[in-house]
Amino acid sequence: MAAGPSQLLVRETMIAAGGYWRPLAAAARLLEELGELSELLFVGEERAEEIAGELADLWIITTALADQFLIEVDDPGSGSEAEADFGVLVAAAGPIARVVNHYDGPKVPRHGEPMPTLQGSIAGFHMALLAFAAPRRIVLAGAVREKIARIHARGDIERFGREGFDPSTAPVLGGPLPDGLPGRLWGAPQPSPGESAAGHAARVRGPLTMFARAARAERLDGVLLTVGPPDSGGLAELVAALDGRGTPDGFELAGERLRARTLAGDAALALVELR
């Protein structure tokens, strides 16, 4: 996936910290930073340097979330023809939380209810950030670079780490991988020594379910997973543990039909795709 200089800085920081936050945690951080920005705006005189730092935090959090879903974002510009107040920022953050609560939370869209994409929601939020920064003469790209440099300089990088499994930086993606794979891939947790198909299925279910919910809207191609040894039952038993009525040719998670196939030349590696 191509990315601009600022997105690459965010990616390097998150990988150095051990991976991305769980998407729901990123949405909580977004709310936290909006709250901190509101304190600066509505309590006393505005201080441009502090506001620039909060805007940088908001851009970093949402860009990390985009990067986790393999979404390319535009590098932040230095100005905007429009102007936005704090209410516009809050309104622009709402769709991000709505989508994340569907992908990684309990929200089930009503039948026929249009659901925004994460890509479009983050692009809209970034436009609002630029429109908020412009009248305050804040160069957002510079503020992002300064904030990331401070994170590294003061040893705050451990605060960016996450607990749990991150499908966008899964070890299985580190290869070596067969040629001809699609480019927009996540990875699933690898089986532990002696683990049963049911135990492995319990750990891959979360990433596969999030993939099923997000793949169409965010154009994700698939999830790579390592199939356990023969005594674990292989791919067929893993799929059966995920969906008792399914087979590798067709099984269901989160209301989406999926299929799984072992890859040519590597029977231990499988690719899960939308069916």
How far from 216 is each of 209, 211, 219, 222, 257, CA to CA, in Å?
Answer: 13, 9, 5, 11, 12
Mean pLDDT of 157-183: 80
Per-residue pLDDT, 1: 60
10 Å Cβ neighbour count for 51?
A: 18
Mean pLDDT of 115-136: 94
Q: 3-state DSSP call for residue 110?
A: coil
Give the pair of three-digit tokens for residue 43.
């309590």
pLDDT in tens, 202-221: 999 999 999 999 999 999 99
Mean pLDDT of 139-151: 90
Is the peptide bond prior to 176 cis by the omega test (within 30 degrees of 0)? yes
pLDDT in tens, 42-95: 876 778 889 999 999 999 999 999 999 999 999 987 666 678 899 999 999 999
Residue ranges per domain, the chain?
A: 5-160, 167-274
- Helices 118-133, 140-153: axis angle to 10 degrees equals 100
Half-sphere exposure of 178 (CA within 13 A, CB side): 15
